[in-house]
Structure 1
């Protein structure tokens, strides 16, 4: 009898790295042995339709047409929760269409593609990721450290650590943080390093949103959260020598709370003609930016690791990234590392790539080699290993 695996996702494309990681995980699950596993995928984002069609082994069950109604209902539920001082209503409604459908299928294992998951029931083995615990390690940022957000993350991750059959993390640092934060058994934590997104597609044409001559430019694809630290790049641009008038491209949804301050900082620095804020950028355009950028600059405060540096390396773009948490472990000698609190270091790293003979090409070559150390096939083998481990603990009739 085949083992039934229910895969669940409520990812939206605007979810950034979580969405890209989920796609990699889904692609890997589609490679599981067909004679041993039956996989059914419930999801609520139409953005995944085209990708899912390329994975015929998966039995896809799209529920995205419920999304708009569900969002309205959830808003009402949040108000009711505040009045009743209880999460009971929200917990009952959340993920309702997906959870109920998956439960009726009676799976043996449930795999969530993102860390905001909802276990089906106690007798179903759950596998899911914990991307970061930055609410504990970088709690000064309100997007994770505000009291309500901190409490919600603690509740989620402590429950996951306690109940999950397997937890997926990106690095040794991520594993150690999870163990020391929640006392989880080390054998339940599996290191599954990120890979470049399978959703990226190549384009040879410059994006319409970036018309004109803006070479050379640095690139940073990130949503406008304070921890993404766009401000440091703006300050670094002002410190560059006059003979290095780089442009800068920011790509990411503009509905987050750092967008207004970043836009104002660009204006105050007199950089409106050099800093280009494009908003959400399609996957094909992202590849074009990687292939044509002077460098990826990512002075984030969050880790342990991130996906954009791997994507940049895959497409021959030099990388400047924060030297914190698991970044040096993951990117090795394929990146220049900076202190995200120091715009001067960012400016110096940019200047080095421009002025040091051979440095840019060396970073590009090292990037290709670094990506080759952990491939999509390695990622898929590790998923099989994790699922096999969890499957072995099942009690079958």
Structure 2
């Protein structure tokens, strides 16, 4: 039997960018579906033991182990290293880990495992296309990181063909080897029942918009659509979930609150904040449709959640959404800058009783097998 691959997995639980957290969690869950003999060993590098334990409980992956970023050397080992360093210009004991095949997603700032391959991941290139949403310093930092990867990296993965196209438009002619790894979500079946509506004071019929409150998520389009419908005599309710803070634009959520008052739709908008993941999915399953109005995405977790639940989706007509929904029939698309189009979609008969069956388990299986194929292609050349 071939030796089991050893992968260093960088993981951080981050509510300010929960999509990145979910990406790693769902990768582990997808790898768990592989044949046991094909499952790699995953050494998880985290900021704390608690983060690892949460990941372990959530995934129950057999070959999941925790490692610190660096090996802690004893006082004696450090003393010996100091002596051999001064005498022979080399250390006897290393603080670096050995015998790890690959690091993912690699950090261009830290090469902490000598001899391992580094697989980089750039989620999207929003700062190149929507620069007004970023500070000058953050744009410079992001671009510096990308240039470092392009100049020094050998392998990079994207979540979508759209992100790969953007990369090659920006960095034409680069030689770094590129892979596309669309991710899929794995979670326990949503426990959707009427009690969840009572818990969160949700009406019987509603739409849901589950995005962090970042400006590019385009919540204003949803509010304008609600107001347009109300002016036509059509009253709809929309549940909003997600962390109510945009660190780049801290005034954004207050702007939304003011807009809701100005449009006269306070009673139509229900803000729940960052809620329990199981509750979020249960509410999503009970919704008339999931609205995903983003102006830009690398790959939308919300779209994947909705597909996995078989819920109707109303999404902005950006390239990555079209890519994600290519085979999913229960959808309507609208121009992200046209709230009237969104309102028209919301008037359509789009509840889940009209949703076409979709075999989402194939997407999850493909996530795991594609990652394994990428590993084999990279490591077979070592």
Equivalent of residue 341 in structure 2, options 322, 326, 345: 345
Deviation, structure 1 residue 34: 5.3
- Is the 1:222–1:228 contact (alpha carbons within 8 Å) kept by the matching residues of 2? yes
Question: Any gaps of 5 or more consecutive residues in structure 2?
Answer: 70-93
**Is 1:252–2:245 an aligned residue pair?**
no
1:43 equivalent in structure 2: 46
- Is the 1:295–1:317 contact (alpha carbons within 8 Å) kept by the matching residues of 2? yes
- Is the 2:45–2:68 contact (alpha carbons within 8 Å) kept by the matching residues of 1? yes
- Is the 1:12–1:47 contact (alpha carbons within 8 Å) kept by the matching residues of 2? no
Equivalent of residue 220 in structure 2, options 200, 212, 231: 231
**Is 1:135–2:112 an aligned residue pair?**
no
Where 2:156 maps in the other structure, the secondary structure is strand
Q: How many aligned residue pairs are there?
A: 344
**Is 1:390–2:381 an aligned residue pair?**
no
- Is the 2:98–2:113 contact (alpha carbons within 8 Å) kept by the matching residues of 1? no
Aligned counterparts of 1:213 and 1:342: Cα–Cα separation in 2: 27
Quick one: structure 1 residues 184 and 382, their matched pair in 2 at CA, closer, same or farther if it must change by over 3 Å?
farther
**Is 1:154–2:143 an aligned residue pair?**
yes
Q: CA RMSD in A?
A: 2.9
- Is the 2:10–2:103 contact (alpha carbons within 8 Å) kept by the matching residues of 1? yes
Quick one: structure 1 residues 268 and 180, their matched pair in 2 at CA, closer, same or farther if it must change by over 3 Å?
same
1:336 equivalent in structure 2: 332
1:120 equivalent in structure 2: 112
1:318 equivalent in structure 2: 312
- Is the 1:141–1:227 contact (alpha carbons within 8 Å) kept by the matching residues of 2? yes
Superimposed CA distance per residue, residues 345-390 of structure 1 (whole angstroms, 9 cap, x where no aligned partner): 1101111236xxxx8644x216x25x46x52111111011111111
1:110 equivalent in structure 2: 103
Question: Any gaps of 5 or more consecutive residues in structure 1?
Answer: 64-100
Residues 1-397 of structure 1: pairs in structure 2 closer than 5 A: 3-29=5-31, 31=34, 37-44=40-47, 46-47=50-51, 49-53=53-57, 54-61=60-67, 103-105=96-98, 107-112=100-105, 118-120=110-112, 123-142=115-134, 146-183=135-172, 185=174, 188-196=177-185, 198-199=186-187, 202-205=190-193, 206-207=195-196, 210-241=199-230, 242-256=232-246, 257=250, 258-332=252-326, 333-353=329-349, 361-362=353-354, 364-365=355-356, 368=358, 371=360, 374-394=362-382
**TM-score of the aligned structures, taking structure 1 as reference length:** 0.77
Quick one: structure 1 residues 244 and 261, their matched pair in 2 at CA, closer, same or farther if it must change by over 3 Å?
same
Aligned counterparts of 1:43 and 1:208: Cα–Cα separation in 2: 36
Where 1:297 maps in the other structure, the secondary structure is strand
Deviation, structure 1 residue 269: 2.1
Larger displacement relative to structure 2 (221-230 or 48-57): 48-57
Quick one: structure 1 residues 304 and 125, their matched pair in 2 at CA, closer, same or farther if it must change by over 3 Å?
same
Quick one: structure 1 residues 288 and 37, their matched pair in 2 at CA, closer, same or farther if it must change by over 3 Å?
closer
Rg comparison, structure with higher value: 2
- Is the 1:127–1:167 contact (alpha carbons within 8 Å) kept by the matching residues of 2? yes
